[in-house]
Structure 1
């Protein structure tokens, strides 16, 4: 018999009461001079992002980051997982009716030859760029730049960060 003060629900019923969330994972790269590498999204031209995307059913965040990086850039990443940070965006209503949680992994340093060999998926990204943080700040929304700056700082300091941002991600 269920305790009215603490009713037990079968897992499927309990899960239906919880907030919804989606998850993405990506790799953060810099060039040999420490400048961040990013891709311009085709669906939102003001949006710059790292190689990555939403998790598929059954995938881990690491598997997602490596798969998406290859699909979006042609880069076959063979390094080990090193988490730089997690990113949380709250439910944005009709625009994205679920919380969105990201896992940003360290992709390391890309050589000039690796950058020259990048092949973008034209359905997802129109261009890639390597810029200094000051240059990125002029190109990005303040919230997206704050996320970039936090991840870059975590990389330089050898730490991890937790970042929350609003709806313009």
Structure 2
């Protein structure tokens, strides 16, 4: 505004004439100059490209190339499966040809870059010979690292839809060398057929089916201060 007191002067800051505003005699306060200097200083500290290793905030801090940074992160693996169920509350289980004799939910490990939903669909086709389009997510179960060296695992369980015993007998084709049997099991049966954490996981899935919810689990348990 013509004849008005420059803002910098009102704030008690030194005034500097600038030609940056088209030679109109505008003023830049010292605070603005300090801000510009700070931006210039930061620009000299930030690496010019992702592969650089320049200190940015404090001694010892460096920018790592993405591949090297990702290599420092914890390693986790993922898996997925599908819950096929009948009108009597039974859920389809499979008996692996290997392992400790416990029955399992159809499913398996995720391939590199694969979505969990796609894993569930692929595994049902490979293990049972069925073309199933998974429905909604019923549970995610986070399993901590195991004593045998297996990393932490995030397991995703999807609704595989309804199935009858007659349809299963007519269409299931078990993966040779991988599975030896299948069955539609009741809650009482799966509590003895499956490993404890798997039975807890299946209990949560069965509840999610009837309550239209999704469960988040820690090794089969709902998270509490005792199971974290």
Q: Give the shorter-chain TM-score range.
A: 0.7 to 0.9
Summarize deviations over 1:56-84 as a string: whole Å, max 9, x none. 123211111101100100110135x3100
Moved more, 35-44 or 138-147: 138-147
SS of corresponding position for 2:176? coil
Partner residue of 1:122?
176
Offset, 1:7: 3.9
Looking at CA atoms only, which structure, 1 or 2, has the larger radius of gyration? 2
RMSD, aligned CA: 1.8
Partner residue of 1:162?
216
Structure 1 residues without counterparts, runs of 5 or longer: none
Q: Structure 2 CA distance, aligned partners of 1:28 and 1:22?
A: 21
SS of corresponding position for 2:77? strand
| Higher strand residue share | 1
Partner residue of 2:72?
17
Counterparts of residues 67-106 of structure 1 (less than 5 Å): 67-79=122-134, 81-93=135-147, 95-106=148-159
Q: Is the 8 A contact 1:88 1:101 kept in 2?
A: yes
Aligned length: 164
Q: Structure 2 CA distance, aligned partners of 1:161 and 1:150?
A: 6
Offset, 1:16: 1.2
| TM-score, normalised via structure 1 length | 0.88
1:140 aligns with 2:194: yes
Q: Structure 2 CA distance, aligned partners of 1:76 and 1:108?
A: 11
Q: Structure 2 CA distance, aligned partners of 1:138 and 1:68?
A: 24
Q: Structure 2 CA distance, aligned partners of 1:68 and 1:141?
A: 20
| TM-score, normalised via structure 2 length | 0.67
Which of the pair has the greater relative contact order for Cα pairs under 8 Å at 6+ separation?
Answer: 1
Offset, 1:125: 1.0
Q: Structure 1 CA distance, aligned partners of 2:179 and 2:84?
A: 16
Summarize deviations over 1:85-116 as a string: whole Å, max 9, x none. 111111114x2431111110001110233211
Structure 2 residues without counterparts, runs of 5 or longer: 1-53, 221-228
1:62 aligns with 2:117: yes
Q: 1:124 to 1:4 in 2, by over 3 A?
A: farther
Q: Structure 2 CA distance, aligned partners of 1:45 and 1:115?
A: 25
